[in-house]
Amino acid sequence: MIERPRRLRQNAALRALVAETRLHPRDLVLPVFVAEGITEPRPITSMPGVEQHTLESVVEVARRCVAAGLGGIMLFGVPEHKDATGSGGIADDGILNLALRAVRDAVGDDLVVMADTCLDEFTDHGHCGVLDEQGRVDNDATNLLYAQMAVAQARAGAHVVAPSGMMDGQVAVIREALDAEGLEHVVVLAYAAKYASAFFGPFREAVQSSLQGDRRTYQQDPANIVESIREIDLDIAEGADMVMVKPAMSYLDVVAAAAERASVPVAAYQVSGEYSMIQAAAAQGWIDLRATALESLTSIRRAGAQVVLTYFALDVADWLA
């Protein structure tokens, strides 16, 4: 007898019926940049279709996310002024906390409001933490600032704080600080496997990064997966409610390993460079934008990510409507 698996591929209705992986707007989180000192949205040239937003326009984006049925929004702040300790990321009147407050007031619990809990956008040296006398990132001193930042973000309205700095012990310190302030309900999404990736390039423009050098002493080596598993295990043991792999597309093996091992939901971030590559190739007519974006996101979901952060989120909601 001839095996004929093509029977189940003979038309779109059959293919849809037996599809093993489905993409839904509720799986997606839209990353959004909010900039201080601008009066109208400002395009990010290396990320076609993405803008830095004002406090007013980010609220409108959040409302669009609700209407589109997205799962969440992740906010990043872009301050006018920076300093050595990233104090603007902790201040109640800092751009990120103002944006969190405005968005949460607008959407309530209709959309999961997430905050990037990292200092790199706010430091004048561009690193994810404070520096010691030798110019190295001081892990434990940085964690104390992360704890203050997470509490400030939670009080501003974040449902989820997302420590992305890859400091050892960051989840435990943040969880302890939140609980001590009566914020036990706030979710911690740990960037557990965040690689020192070249695919972050356009993001540096998006947040007007001041970084000189690189972050290879704290972000992970792209050659490794065993240490990712160790990082994931540690973050879950420290109290992470969800864990993330970043980037996503070039690290689907890591996403799959995380999904196989983790006892909490796994998220993956389709980062700026992954987004911009698709946009750039589509602009040249080399690939179909919609088909390629949907395929890339379906692949991330198939690898095991329950939640996907992507700049295509609103587009996908329109395409799937």
82 is catalytic: no
289 near 278, Cβ under 8 Å?
A: yes
Return d(Cα 253, Cα 116) in angstroms, integer: 25
Percentages (nearest 5) of helix, strand, coil residues in the chain: 45, 15, 40
255 near 304, Cβ under 8 Å?
A: yes
194 is catalytic: yes
CA distances from 190 to 36, 131, 160, 266 (A): 26, 22, 10, 10
Burial call 178-209: b when 16+ CB within 10 Å, e when fewer = beeeebeebbbbbbbbbbebebbebbebbbbb
How many angstroms from the chain centroid is the CA of residue 97? 17
The position carrying tokens 């996310």 is 65
Point out the catalytic residue in the list 175, 194, 215, 301.
194
Point out the catalytic residue in the list 246, 247, 266, 278.
246
Angle between helices 313-320 and 289-303 (to 10 degrees): 100
DSSP per-residue codes, 235-257:
HHHHT-SEEEEES-GGGHHHHHH
Tell me phi and psi for residue 138, to 5 degrees.
-85, 105
The token pair at 202 is 């356009």
Collapsing DSSP to helix, strand or coil, 188 comes out as strand
Tell me phi and psi for residue 194, to 5 degrees.
-115, 120
The token pair at 35 is 């900039």
Q: Name the residues annotated as catalytic.
A: 194, 246
